[in-house]
């Protein structure tokens, strides 16, 4: 019986998805010991247990599932065989974050148990067990004993000397025989009744045994159904976990691809900037060399003229000096005129660029007003209830899709003659730029921030830059506001290339 109970005990635990015993996370209940004392089983953990239980029959078992728990230092099989408890099995199933610790207790017979949580312990006590019945041997009925005694008395009656005594003796003998026959009939009737009663009791016991067997079979069928349901639930949980892991892997791969693309774009931008810097440096070096050569030629010519003038008369030297002074003044006037022409040319280029920027901003504002007009026509109730937005200084991204965008990066970069604040999104986004005094606000429409690191402020006050602080914060509705604090108000340029928006601020004093 004990070996059969232990084998069934192990069979119940086969369908479970076992988890290796390991160091448990801090938020799980760690079960470190199971002790047995008579019919009492104590399960020790480090937290108050959250559990469910159910019983099984043939052989008798009690199953306890502790949610959010793992075993540590507890054997998978604990043999007991103390007359009440046959043995204990343990197993874990579920996921690492939703682990379930199962304790299965086998009993020698059907028992009634009481389960109580005492602090971090779970105490299982046996309240009672079934008993047997005793069968006593049958004894002869008292009537048969009495009749036998009377017959024995009658046979010992002595005969009289005369006929009267003989008649009385015969009458007494007949009475004794009648009583004996009546007693025998009563005994036979009592014996038949006892036999019928015994047969009825045997039939009732057979019926009870058949009903008990039927109940056991029904309980076994229900237990099998529960085991099938548990197996299906475990399989479904495993499938769901695998799907979740595949989805997590897909999201991680996409994030890695986005980061790789962002890195490649940043590297290409840095390479382009380096090329521009190298080109500017080469141009500056060539101009410096040309100026040095010209200065050397001028110095050589001046030295030759001075040598020639030294050979001439003192008066010629004075005339030559006056001519040189006049020529130098003319050259300075020519250089000043050339500088004015260059400044005028730069002013015209700046005016043309400002005019082009104003035209682009006006065109974008017209597009925004057209889109807003269409949206207000499609949703008049929302349009009437919404407050009018404040006037934007700059805007862009008019061709952006209607999908929700994600801001993936905000950063600061030093350029040769300016400082750059850049914002990267997963795709082009509509934006507006507003400035007030020493603050510039870049507002990204229909955008969200996923990584919390992107909301940490950037302190740039120690750089030789007009920018002192950059911070991205979620705005009203589905917007993200990038607030740029300046040390002083300066002009800046805004540009958008795909999912990259840049704001360039000139260095102070330039």
| 279 secondary structure, DSSP code | H
Burial class, 381, CB count within 10 angstroms (exposed 0-12 / middle 13-18 / buried 19+): exposed
**Pairing mode of beta strands 447-449, 405-414:** parallel
Q: Are 393 and 433 in contact (CB under 8 A)?
A: yes
Q: Looking at the domain assignment, is residue 172 inside a domain?
A: no
Q: For the domain that residue 107 is a member of, what is the CATH number? A: 2.60.40.3500
Mean pLDDT over 460-486 rounds to: 92
Give DSSP secondary structure letters for 294-326. Answer: HHHHHHHHHHHHHHHHHHS-HHHHHHHHHHHHH
My answer on whether 356 and 414 are in the same domain is no
Nearest 5°: the CA angle 96, 102, 105 is: 165
Q: Are 441 and 447 in contact (CB under 8 A)?
A: no
Q: Please indicate whether residue 137 or residue 358 has the higher confidence score (pLDDT).
A: 358
Given the structure tokens 């986005």, which residue do they identify? 258
Given the structure tokens 């996923």, which residue do they identify? 450
Q: Please indicate whether residue 262 or residue 330 has the higher confidence score (pLDDT).
A: 262
Structural domain count of the chain: 3
My answer on whether 460 and 363 are in the same domain is no
Q: Looking at the domain assignment, is residue 337 inside a domain?
A: yes
My answer on whether 405 and 477 are in the same domain is yes
My answer on whether 345 and 416 are in the same domain is no
Q: Are 448 and 404 in contact (CB under 8 A)?
A: yes
My answer on whether 488 and 434 are in the same domain is yes
Q: At what angle do helices 142-155 and 163-311 cross, to 10 degrees?
A: 160
Range of the structural domain that residue 370 is part of:
322-375
Q: Looking at the domain assignment, is residue 39 inside a domain?
A: yes
Among residues 84, 100, 127, which one ends one of the domains? 127
| 122 secondary structure, DSSP code | E
Q: Are 294 and 288 in contact (CB under 8 A)?
A: no
- Element containing residue 31 per DSSP (H, E): strand 29-31
My answer on whether 371 and 406 are in the same domain is no
Q: Looking at the domain assignment, is residue 308 inside a domain?
A: no
My answer on whether 367 and 401 are in the same domain is no
My answer on whether 94 and 36 are in the same domain is yes
My answer on whether 330 and 441 are in the same domain is no
Q: Looking at the domain assignment, is residue 230 inside a domain?
A: no
My answer on whether 359 and 466 are in the same domain is no
Tens of pLDDT, residues 348-394:
766 776 677 677 667 767 776 776 666 555 544 443 333 333 444 56
* Predicted pLDDT at 354: 67
Q: Looking at the domain assignment, is residue 485 inside a domain?
A: yes
Among residues 96, 127, 158, which one ends one of the domains? 127
Q: Looking at the domain assignment, is residue 266 inside a domain?
A: no
Most confident of 124-138, 293-307, 383-397: 293-307
Q: Please indicate whether residue 147 or residue 332 has the higher confidence score (pLDDT).
A: 332
My answer on whether 72 and 7 are in the same domain is yes
Tens of pLDDT, residues 204-246:
988 998 899 999 999 999 999 999 999 999 999 999 999 999 9
pLDDT of 334 higher than 90: no
Tens of pLDDT, residues 76-104:
999 999 999 999 999 998 887 788 999 99
Whole-Å CA distances, 397 to 269, 400, 472: 20, 6, 19
């Amino acid at each position: 019986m004990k070996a059969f109970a232990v084998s069934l005990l192990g069979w119940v635990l086969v369908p479970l998805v076992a988890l290796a015993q390991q160091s448990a996370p801090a938020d799980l209940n760690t079960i470190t010991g199971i002790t047995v004392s008579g019919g009492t089983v104590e399960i020790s953990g480090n937290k108050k247990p959250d559990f469910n239980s159910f019983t099984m029959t043939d052989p008798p078992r009690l199953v306890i599932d502790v949610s959010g728990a793992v075993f540590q230092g507890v054997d998978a099989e604990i043999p007991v065989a103390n007359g009440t408890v046959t043995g204990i099995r343990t197993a874990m199933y579920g996921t690492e974050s939703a682990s379930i610790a199962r304790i299965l207790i086998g009993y020698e017979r059907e028992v009634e148990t009481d389960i109580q949580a005492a602090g971090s312990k779970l105490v299982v006590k046996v309240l009672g067990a079934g008993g047997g019945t005793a069968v006593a041997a049958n004894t002869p009925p008292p009537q048969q004993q009495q009749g036998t005694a009377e017959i024995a008395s009658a046979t010992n009656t002595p005969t009289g000397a005369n006929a009267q005594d003989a008649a009385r003796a015969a009458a007494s003998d007949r009475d004794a025989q009648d009583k004996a026959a009546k007693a025998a009939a009563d005994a036979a009737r009592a014996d038949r009744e006892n036999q019928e009663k015994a047969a009825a009791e045997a039939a009732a016991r057979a019926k009870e045994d058949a009903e008990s067997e039927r109940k056991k079979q029904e309980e076994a069928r229900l237990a099998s159904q529960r085991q099938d349901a548990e197996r299906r639930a475990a399989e479904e949980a495993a499938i769901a976990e695998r799907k979740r892991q595949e989805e997590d892997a897909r999201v991680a791969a996409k994030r890695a691809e986005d980061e790789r693309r962002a890195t490649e774009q940043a590297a290409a931008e840095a390479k382009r900037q380096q090329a521009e810097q190298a080109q500017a440096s080469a141009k500056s070096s060539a101009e410096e060399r040309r100026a040095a050569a010209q200065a050397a030629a001028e110095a050589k010519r001046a030295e030759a003229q001075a040598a020639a003038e030294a050979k001439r008369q003192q008066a010629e030297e004075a005339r030559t000096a006056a001519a040189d002074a006049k020529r130098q003044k003319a050259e300075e006037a020519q250089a000043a005129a050339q500088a004015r022409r260059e400044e005028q040319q730069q002013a015209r280029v700046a005016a043309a660029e400002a005019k082009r920027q104003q035209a682009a901003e006006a065109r974008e504002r017209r597009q925004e007003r057209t889109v807003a007009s269409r949206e207000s026509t499609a949703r008049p109730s929302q349009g009437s209830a919404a407050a009018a937005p404040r006037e934007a200084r700059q805007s862009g991204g008019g061709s952006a899709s209607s999908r929700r965008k994600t801001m993936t990066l905000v950063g600061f970069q030093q350029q040769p003659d300016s400082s750059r604040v850049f914002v990267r999104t997963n795709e082009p986004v509509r934006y507006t730029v507003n400035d007030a005094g020493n603050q510039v606000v870049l507002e990204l429409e229909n955008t969200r921030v996923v990584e919390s690191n992107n909301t940490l402020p950037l302190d740039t006050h120690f750089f030789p830059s007009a920018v002192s602080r950059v911070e991205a914060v979620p705005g009203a509705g589905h917007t993200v506001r990038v607030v740029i604090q300046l040390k002083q108000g300066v002009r800046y340029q805004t540009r958008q290339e795909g999912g990259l928006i840049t704001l360039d601020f000139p260095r102070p004093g330039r």
